[in-house]
């Protein structure tokens, strides 16, 4: 899952960062940088990480920048829009006793939205990393994020989330995280 899982109960789920999807969304380079930062940060603070791929036999694999940032994270294939509707993802969440799901990737108004709602229905806390998601249509993404907030999903920039996890400058990963932030700006 991650190099060292020191925050049990949390999982970063990076959705469908595959070439055809990345190329179709607004700000493909930015969402790629931010998802890579989220994956590296999660590994650094000890949060388990998982990637999903939507029908990779048709749409290809995760783009290299994301695969590299994910390290040895499992890559799970799905055909459903909600990642949690895929048995392998649901089983992994249960096996790891996940209580809080952090979500990045694409597409905000489809897979991110449906995954977040299904996670809520399974009594998980959910945080969508607002600057590490994207969609083809920005207005659709904004509407989906607003709706998710209304359902109780935390919608926050990834730096807000990870600095809160670090808590203060004495955290062993603090200096590395600030360097990651600078390199992924």
Cα distance between the two ends of the chain = 25
Whole-number Å distance between alpha carbons of 21 and 161: 25
pLDDT at 6: 67
Is residue 150 included in any domain, yes or no? yes
Is residue 3 included in any domain, yes or no? no
pLDDT at 110: 97
Report whether pLDDT(5) > 60.
no
Report whether pLDDT(4) > 60.
no
Per the structure, the count of domains in the chain is 1
pLDDT tens by residue, 16-73: 999 999 999 999 999 999 999 999 999 999 999 999 999 999 999 999 999 999 999 9
Is residue 2 included in any domain, yes or no? no
* 37, 104 contact by CB (below 8 A): no
Query: What CATH number does the domain containing 17 carry?
Result: 3.40.50.850
Is residue 71 included in any domain, yes or no? yes
Domain that holds residue 41: 10-183
Is residue 1 included in any domain, yes or no? no
Note the pTM of the prediction, 2 decimals.
0.94
pLDDT tens by residue, 73-131: 999 999 999 999 999 999 999 999 999 999 999 999 999 999 999 999 999 999 999 99
């Amino acid at each position: 899952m991650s190099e060292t899982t020191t925050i049990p109960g949390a999982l970063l789920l990076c959705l469908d960062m595959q070439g055809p999807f990345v190329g179709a969304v607004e700000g493909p380079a930015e969402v790629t940088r931010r998802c890579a930062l989220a994956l590296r940060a999660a590994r650094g603070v000890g949060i388990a990480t998982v990637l999903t791929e939507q029908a990779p036999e048709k749409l290809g694999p995760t783009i290299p920048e994301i695969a590299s940032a994910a390290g040895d994270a499992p890559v799970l294939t799905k055909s459903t829009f909600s990642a949690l509707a895929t048995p392998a993802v649901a089983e992994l969440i249960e096996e790891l006793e996940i209580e809080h799901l952090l979500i990045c990737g694409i597409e905000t108004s489809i897979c991110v939205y449906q995954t977040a709602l299904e996670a809520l229905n399974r009594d998980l806390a959910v945080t969508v990393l607002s600057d590490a998601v994207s969609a083809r249509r920005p207005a659709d993404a904004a509407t989906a994020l607003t709706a998710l907030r209304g359902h109780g999903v935390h919608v926050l920039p990834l730096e807000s989330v990870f600095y809160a996890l670090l808590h203060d400058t004495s955290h062993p990963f603090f200096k590395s995280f600030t360097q990651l932030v600078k390199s992924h700006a």
